[in-house]
Structure 1
């Protein structure tokens, strides 16, 4: 299922959100301040972030701005402030949706599901590529004989993105934006390097899938039929 990062210095709010979202099958990661949340997001795949504005060490505004550097993940703000100016500021910084405390937990669940649907994020934590399974919780590739291989995070994200949409063309700029973030300043040839490494790692798996180059456009992953 999708992984949701919940950031709030109020333990009762975190527990409420966790209980309702876990009941819907989501994996919940809790952090009590913006610094801890940012550190986690820098090193782990996160599908959606729920955050408060007023927090110690790093507030929700700064956290939201930093998270946007990682790409297009949905961000939902939960705050005690309901002024229009705060909502406008949040949207300008990249917030996707907004809830004011006290909130209805059922409405929260519906908004989370709507955001994931809008971003077309799969709620599954595993996908199948022929006889190979990609485990998004552990960045692992699981082979049919039970052996596993752990990939570097960016390589895994590229493979998971392509594998989640077999047959769909992804341009280099699309992959850069969604995996490295819109503020990435490196060369888009970074994508080519990661694709090359993935092909080298999976040379023995061509009967399961292959990554195809569409010259001048980008890449797509093709799953071989059984």
Structure 2
């Protein structure tokens, strides 16, 4: 397997699980950093150029929720959460804190690798200078910056992709199924509530401009510039 420059931070306190993930990442050609507790994870994140984080929730010293929250203060890189609980509240909290996706233990390492590959391809596969603009919202797909009336806002990887997809298809109803297929892929294990949660967070960050993401009852969402 060829070597590439993508660096993945694996935060997992169970040694065997962490080693399995690291082995799969290396086999797929990624560079890997590892941490067994939340404090070490943040230290590694701050001292390295990390492209994606695989983050367990139950950790010594500092839990995964706190790690996710602190990373999101300064970075929009993809975060995949690992949880032993299938509690819906866990997944929704993760999305509210800025996670992009999650897997419930036990999970297939190959499914995890597929998610890693998909996120990294979408995160790095943009074209410099490619702008999408509508009614005061400007997306630069090259720099992955979003501004609202000239003010830069911080979006997660998934929020960015959802907004870009809706704006590219302005005026067209996009179903939740289409969003799931486009943003997460067909191996997505969540449900439509996941989409709703990301849309809610995205609208909040857009402020008054959030009104242009319109809910179409029993269908999905569409971006309407005239609502601005």
Specify which of 15, 28, 35 is matched with residue 31 of structure 1.
35
Specify which of 138, 154, 171 is matched with residue 182 of structure 1.
154
Higher relative contact order (CA 8 A, sep 6+): 1
Partner residue of 1:94?
98
CA deviations over 1:33-67 (Å, ceiling 9, x no partner):
11111111112110000010000110000000001
Give the number of the structure whose alpha-carbon radius of gyration is greater.
1
Partner residue of 2:120?
116
- Unpaired runs of at least 5, structure 2: 132-139, 156-228
Q: Is the 8 A contact 2:128 2:143 kept in 1?
A: no
CA deviations over 1:170-190 (Å, ceiling 9, x no partner):
6999299xxx9939xxxxxxx
TM-score, structure 1 as length reference: 0.55
TM-score, structure 2 as length reference: 0.55
Distance 1:181 1:71, change over 3 A: farther
Matches within 5 A, 1:1-226: 1=4, 2-119=6-123, 121=124, 174=145, 182=154
Q: Is the 8 A contact 1:51 1:75 kept in 2?
A: yes
Distance in 2 between residues matched to 1:4 and 1:97, nearest whole Å:
15
RMSD: 2.6
Write out the 4+ residue segments of structure 1 that deviate beyond 3 Å after TM superposition: 164-173, 180-183
Distance in 2 between residues matched to 1:117 and 1:55, nearest whole Å:
29
Distance in 2 between residues matched to 1:37 and 1:95, nearest whole Å:
16
- Unpaired runs of at least 5, structure 1: 123-163, 184-226
Distance in 2 between residues matched to 1:49 and 1:112, nearest whole Å:
9
Match of 1:45, SS state, is coil
Distance in 1 between residues matched to 2:153 and 2:56, nearest whole Å:
22
Distance 1:118 1:57, change over 3 A: same
Match of 1:51, SS state, is strand
Q: CA deviation at 1:70?
A: 2.0
Match of 1:70, SS state, is coil
Match of 1:76, SS state, is strand
Distance 1:84 1:69, change over 3 A: same
Distance in 2 between residues matched to 1:104 and 1:96, nearest whole Å:
18
